[in-house]
């Protein structure tokens, strides 16, 4: 599926002193630089935020090797979360990797990181070379179509005012849908193996996203979602 918004562009943030505008402008500058290196990249207007989909961030061989590495080297877990007064296992497996001092509170769980493997540190460093700096990574393993992730935004307090998220997809392409929080806007992106999706901070404030379950027989997918987690008191 061609991303909705194909051949449209993210809007230039208005001039002004607000922190959000400055962060959005920096995101747009960095994503333009990345587009020069990856000309097939597509901007995804998630107004007032912006997404950039780099479909060929990793080669097929690199993506396959990284997926095999993640499956073998990470400690995967399927924690229980409380929903409407009952405990349910999350419908996927996940693993949290990061710098030693980072903790992430997520759906009532306190996550302590696994150490960076050299392979994952290399991916993190490659993102940093493009100006996108992260200190942690939440990996999701969707074993088949019955695994998914419901509507949410990545806007926990420790992600700060401008939560830029980088998502690398490996394996089975899955659809990431977006819906506007206070409006009728909808977008959907099919994320191919080896792709990188970057989203600016404003996206998390104004949109929610999900990976819907599917009745189709689907192969496994891993998403690596890089984040910068600030320490809060």
Ligand X SMILES: O=C(O)CCC(=O)C(=O)O
* Residues within the interface to ligand X (CB under 6 A): 138, 140, 149, 154, 167, 176, 191, 209, 211, 223, 225
- CB of residue 128 to ligand X, shortest distance in Å: 20
Q: Which of 123, 154, 174, 228 binds Fe ion (CB under 5 A)?
A: 154
Query: Closer CB to ligand X, residue 33 or residue 150?
Result: 150
Q: Is 96 in the site for Fe ion (CB under 5 A)?
A: no
Which tokens hold the place of 102? 């980072």
Q: Is 168 in the site for Fe ion (CB under 5 A)?
A: no
- CB of residue 164 to ligand X, shortest distance in Å: 13
Query: Closer CB to ligand X, residue 28 or residue 203?
Result: 203
What CA–CA distance (Å, rounded) separates 59 from 80?
35
- Contact indicator for 37, 44 with CB cutoff of 8 Å: no
Task: Find the largest Cα–Cα distance for the chain.
Answer: 50
Query: Closer CB to ligand X, residue 44 or residue 138?
Result: 138
Question: Does the CA dihedral 35-183-24-113 come out positive or negative?
Answer: negative
- Exposed, middle or buried: residue 36 (CB in 10 Å: 0-12, 13-18, 19+)? exposed
């Amino acid at each position: 599926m061609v991303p909705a918004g194909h051949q449209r562009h993210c809007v230039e943030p208005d001039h002004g002193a607000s922190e959000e505008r400055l962060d959005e402008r920096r995101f747009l500058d960095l994503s333009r630089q990345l587009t020069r290196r990856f000309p097939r990249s597509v901007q995804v207007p998630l107004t007032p935020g912006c997404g950039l989909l780099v479909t060929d961030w990793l080669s097929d061989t690199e993506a396959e090797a990284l997926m095999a590495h993640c499956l073998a080297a990470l400690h995967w877990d399927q924690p229980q979360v409380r929903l409407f007064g009952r405990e349910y296992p999350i419908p996927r497996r996940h693993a949290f990797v990061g710098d030693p001092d980072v903790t992430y509170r997520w759906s009532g769980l306190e996550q302590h990181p696994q150490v960076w493997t050299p392979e994952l540190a290399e991916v993190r460093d490659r993102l940093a070379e493009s100006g996108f700096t992260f200190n942690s990574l939440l990996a999701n393993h969707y074993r088949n179509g019955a695994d998914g992730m419901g509507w949410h935004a990545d806007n926990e307090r420790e992600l700060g005012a401008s939560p830029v998220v980088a998502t690398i997809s490996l394996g089975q392409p899955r659809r990431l849908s977006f819906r506007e929080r206070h409006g009728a806007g909808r977008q959907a992106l099919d994320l191919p193996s080896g792709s990188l999706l970057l989203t600016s901070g404003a996206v998390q404030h104004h949109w929610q996203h999900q990976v819907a379950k599917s009745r189709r027989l689907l192969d496994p997918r891993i998403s690596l979602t890089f984040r910068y987690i600030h320490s809060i008191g």
